[in-house]
Amino acid sequence: TFDRVIVSGGVSEIGPIFLDPIQEELRKNRYMSGAGKIDVVPSTFGRDIGLFGAAASFLERMKDGGGGV
């Protein structure tokens, strides 16, 4: 089980109007939530974290010979 869902990127900046409904749905779904409370929180890495992930993936592929790029 898990106790936290971290939302990243631009949607994380929308705040409670976006995050609260997600938390409510997780609370309703016993299969997903288990017995404990699940917090839905914005990432502390900022809105551009997806760009860092994409860059890391690109660099990894280039290191491995650039296949599939």
Between vectors from CA 7 to CA 10 and to CA 59, what angle results, nearest 5°?
75
Q: Indicate the burial class of 62 (C-beta count within 10 angstroms; 0-12, 13-18, 19 or more).
A: exposed
Q: What is the pLDDT of residue 13?
A: 85
- The pLDDT mean for the chain works out to 81
Spatial separation of the C-alpha atoms in residues 9 and 16, rounded to whole Å: 15
pTM above 0.75, yes or no: no
Q: Is the pLDDT of residue 18 over 60?
A: yes
Q: Is the pLDDT of residue 69 over 60?
A: no
